[in-house]
């Protein structure tokens, strides 16, 4: 217990610098104070409307932000549509499962911002996505945090850039750490950001190997809770319709909470890349800490999201502010 308390204290204080230390030079919480002072409220109201239409708005927008930031930085390049001579990021196989509701959330928020004459074409799509992501997290019961603003939109979006840049369902801890480290994120931050799987869903083909074709006598991944494995089989029978999707969090799928980590303690991580956070001794203590304290998880998640939002930020020299988020 003493060791766990020390871990909890360390995790908590490790987040403080992210709130008090300088951010990327160009990013500021008050970037639009003069050009569009009410931008956060405008975006929040648009996101609320979309949220009340469908809960999918939450995981769809959150996942969109992750997929954007991990490829060429947080520059809204994932929002760009392909053209006759360019296959954009969103059409890479790893992005085809991004739900349309995430894109629609940004489109609606952008339209709401541009409907205000003072704000028209002043706010980047990258910043709108960052604000919308924070807002869906809060609407689902997660932490509300201040968003640093001032990103410009990227001038490039190529499907080939996605190769090897996004975490896969079967990743080991080493692979996860390597990918997140490439974006300046620590193992603790990776475990915190993985908590986003407390909401959302997955198509059966992303984990079916764990319940049907695992290299074990039963064909089932022994790290899976037996009862949970049976439930997965019933929800995802062999040759299931590929459009069928199930909740990532079988316990509280519509609440942004720390139950994800408690699920891992019980062998209920849907992906092997989820469950490995608990089965690997190097990250197990962090999972236990987040499972035992909602406060510690929320603080670490908010801090990690702030740090993620600084990845690959574009400026006026290598970016612009798009009038249409889908067109460079």
Annotated binding site: 68, 71, 73, 75, 77, 89, 167, 197-198, 249, 252, 257
Query: What is the pairing mode between strands 153-154 and 319-320?
Result: antiparallel
Question: Distance between CA atoms of 63 and 56, rounded to whole angstroms?
Answer: 11
Q: Which among 30, 31, 52, 67 is annotated as catalytic? A: 67
Question: Any catalytic annotation for residue 67?
Answer: yes
Question: Distance between CA atoms of 296 and 308, rounded to whole angstroms?
Answer: 18
- What residue numbers does the annotated binding site for substrate cover? 167
Q: Are 81 and 326 in contact (CB under 8 A)?
A: yes
- What residue numbers does the annotated binding site for heme b cover? 197
> Token pair for residue 230?
């049976």
What is the dihedral angle through the alpha carbons of 145, 300, 257, 54, rounded to the nearest 10 degrees?
40
Question: Distance between CA atoms of 163 and 170, rounded to whole angstroms?
Answer: 16
Q: For residue 31, which of 142, 157, 151, 128 has the smallest C-alpha distance?
A: 151
Extended beta strands in 78-234, E state: 153-154, 201-203
Question: Distance between CA atoms of 128 and 124, rounded to whole angstroms?
Answer: 6
Q: Is the dihedral of CA 88, 94, 99, 103 positive or negative?
A: negative
Q: For residue 43, which of 121, 117, 136 has the smallest C-alpha distance?
A: 136
Cα 285 → chain centroid: 22
Angle between helices 272-279 and 281-292 (to 10 degrees): 90
Active site residues: 67
């Amino acid at each position: 217990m003493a060791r766990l308390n020390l871990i909890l204290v360390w995790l908590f204080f490790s987040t403080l610098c992210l709130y008090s230390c300088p951010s990327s030079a160009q990013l500021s919480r008050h970037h639009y104070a003069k050009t569009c002072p009410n931008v956060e409220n405008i975006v929040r109201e648009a996101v609320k409307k979309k949220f009340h239409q469908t809960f999918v708005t939450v995981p769809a927008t959150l996942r969109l932000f992750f997929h954007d930031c991990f490829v060429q930085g947080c520059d809204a390049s994932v929002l760009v549509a392909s053209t006759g001579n360019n296959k954009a990021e969103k059409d890479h196989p790893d992005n085809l499962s991004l739900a349309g509701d995430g894109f629609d959330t940004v489109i609606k928020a952008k339209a709401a911002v541009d409907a205000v004459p003072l704000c028209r074409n002043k706010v980047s799509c990258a910043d709108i996505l960052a604000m919308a992501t924070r807002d869906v997290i809060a609407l689902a019961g997660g932490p509300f945090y201040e968003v640093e603003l001032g990103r410009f939109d990227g001038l490039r979006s190529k499907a080939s850039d996605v190769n090897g840049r996004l975490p896969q369902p079967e990743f080991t801890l080493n692979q996860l750490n390597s990918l997140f480290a490439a974006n300046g994120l620590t193992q603790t931050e990776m475990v915190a950001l993985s908590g986003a799987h407390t909401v959302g869903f997955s198509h059966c083909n992303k984990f079916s190997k764990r319940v049907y074709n695992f290299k074990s006598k039963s064909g089932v991944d022994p790290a899976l809770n037996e009862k949970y494995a049976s439930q997965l089989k019933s929800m995802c029978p062999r040759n299931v319709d590929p459009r069928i999707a199930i909740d990532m969090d079988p316990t509280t799928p519509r609440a942004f909470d720390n139950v994800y980590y408690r699920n891992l303690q019980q062998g209920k991580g849907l992906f092997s890349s989820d469950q490995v956070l608990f089965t690997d001794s190097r990250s197990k203590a962090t999972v236990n800490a987040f499972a035992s304290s909602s406060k510690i998880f929320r603080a670490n998640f908010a801090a990690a999201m702030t740090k993620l939002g600084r990845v690959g930020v574009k400026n006026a020299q290598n970016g612009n502010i798009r009038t249409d988020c889908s067109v460079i």
